[in-house]
Amino acid sequence: RVWHGSCAAIVLRAVQLGLFASPRRVFLNKLHNLRVGAAMSANDEAAAGCASGETRFVDIAVNLTDSMFQGEYHGKSKHSPDMAAVIARAASVGCSKLVLTGGNLESSKEALDLAKTLDPAGGSLFCTVGVHPTRCDEFKDDPEKHMEMLRELIRGNLDRVVAIGEMGLDYDRTEFCAADVQQRFFALQLQLVREFQLPMFLHMREAREDFLRILEECRDVWKGCSGVVHSFTGRRCSSHFEPS
């Protein structure tokens, strides 16, 4: 089943990874305002996060690779890096499992490195691997080589990589990548879902018909795997895709 938005229920191998004690306790919820307050040192906050209690939420779309977590906004340094503080504050309110979003090959590597660095024990931070639709031009020079590099990254880190993506279509920002290129490499990335039997971390803006068409045409590729449409436009009923 492919779910959309915050109603995504059992996704990202939650049960297999031990993120939840049972499916009934799955509450996928985006937490906001985690960046408010930073009284403790980064080390103290990281320790507090590791010592936090019961998991109540899992944030499945954490963009820690964004430069703002290094204190940079629009090219200007505003504060010191505060990733550890953000993670600790999330844990303090019961959001102790985070999935870091990969947006292309390099940011997927960065997300993986951050997960390993900030959570050496491997119980709290996980990541996705994939190429966002607006960055699919990166496939064009050598699609098979690019796919193989994605495969190698996933294959060597199956204890951390919990989904394929963020992938899909974004016709709202075709100035970054043409629609036909997005379509081609969205379909290509779905092969990784079949190869690794991982859930899909999907993205769709202003592209409903082509998005659903590609999912339908590739049904045999992803059949049996779950997923979530993290970003979407359109009505709820028009965004829900129910496989047979």
Whether pLDDT at 22 is above 50: no
- pLDDT tens for residues 168-202? 999 999 999 999 999 999 999 999 999 999 999 99
Q: Average pLDDT of the chain?
A: 78
> Is-above-0.85 flag for pTM?
no
> For 68-78, what is each residue's pLDDT tens digit?
777 788 888 88
The DSSP code sequence of 103-166 is -SHHHHHHHHHHHHHH-TTSSSEEEEE---GGGGGGGTT-HHHHHHHHHHHHHTTTTTEEEEEE
